[in-house]
Amino acid sequence: MSDLALPVLHVDRPLVEADYAYVEGRASLVAHTDAELAGVAASVIGIGHQWDAARFKLFPELKVLSRMGIGYDNIDLDAARAAGVVVCNGPDSPTVSTVEHTMALLFAVTKELPIQQARAAQGLKGPAQATSLELNNSTLGLVGLGRIGAKVAKASLALGMNVIAFDPGLRESPVASVSMVTLDELLASSHVVSLHAPAIAETAQMMNADAFAKMMPGSYLVNCARGSLVDHDGLLSAIDSGHLGGAGLDVTDPEPLPAGHPLLDRPNVVVTPHIASSTAAGRRRLYEHAIDNALAVLEGRPASVVS
């Protein structure tokens, strides 16, 4: 089959040789150039652009928009429907890598790794005081118990942690030994609160000054979901007052945080630049699942369709 007969797929990131190899004989890949937009049947996207009505007009022949990952809060679904574009996501693509990164941040902040690394760099030996958290028998509170939250629960149970969860979309826990509780109960009882909720109107800045005040003194926050879930001024105040022991953030709002933002220089806060899913294996899954979804829609096969 000649390339002229293949559907044209646009990808909004730099491409490597393996990307082209994955779709060889199935599609023709193009990078982001205005000259090529008119013929694009599908676009495979990350979070770099807001897809509103104006952007959809740049792709007059677009049939499907396929997100590399779970969240689609950068896509105006009404505008997509008006343009006749099917929107897909890849709910399983980033799960394993994001779970691992969540655990990495959990360990980093509860074991005070940045603080202790700084002490080692100063030539100091031993702790200034014993303040890090022993995870065994401590309580992890999960806000959201979907694919990622459930796997974080299982990993934490294996460490000997008690795990509780709040998820208004679930009537019972899908994970044995995890109790479902109210949000207030979770905040009051958890040594670590880990966020795994979507960015929707109901979750915007759900972790605000009032929520932080309800958290256990000395507890920690981990966020590998979306930055919009957290009021960062409220978080900073809770950390600076000593009420919270620290935070591990892979996502922020805005993203990235501006240079000099106080959260970036707090020794008990670890911030990574939205890279939880960015392992080598995770990157390939994100890309391949998004390509598979796009081609499935174009070929009339089942896909992970959002709208």
Q: How many CB atoms within 10 Å of residue 296?
A: 17
224/240 same-domain check: yes
User: Would you list the DSSP string of 205-218?
Assistant: T-BSHHHHHHSPTT
Q: Is 61 a catalytic residue?
A: no
124/252 same-domain check: yes
What's the mean pLDDT in 180-187?
98
155/251 same-domain check: yes
- Structurally, the chain folds into a number of domains equal to 2
- Percent of the chain at pLDDT > 90 equals 84
Global pTM value: 0.89
33/176 same-domain check: no
Point out the catalytic residue in the list 101, 191, 274, 289: 274
Point out the catalytic residue in the list 24, 36, 61, 255: 255
127/204 same-domain check: yes
In tens, the pLDDT along 156-170 reads 999 999 999 999 999
User: Would you list the DSSP string of 111-139?
Assistant: TTHHHHHHHHHTT--S-SS--PPP-TT-E
Q: Is 226 a catalytic residue?
A: yes
Q: Is 274 a catalytic residue?
A: yes
Task: Provide the domain limits for residue 49.
Answer: 3-93+280-298
What's the mean pLDDT in 213-242?
98
Assess if residue 307 is contained within a domain.
no
Sign for the CA dihedral angle at 213, 216, 222, 223 comes to negative
pLDDT at 212: 98
195/265 same-domain check: yes
Point out the catalytic residue in the list 226, 232, 285, 289: 226
pLDDT at 254: 95
28/169 same-domain check: no
122/188 same-domain check: yes
pLDDT band at 65 (very low <50, low <70, confident <90, very high): very high
Assess if residue 306 is contained within a domain.
no
Assess if residue 157 is contained within a domain.
yes
CATH number of the domain at 7, please.
3.40.50.720
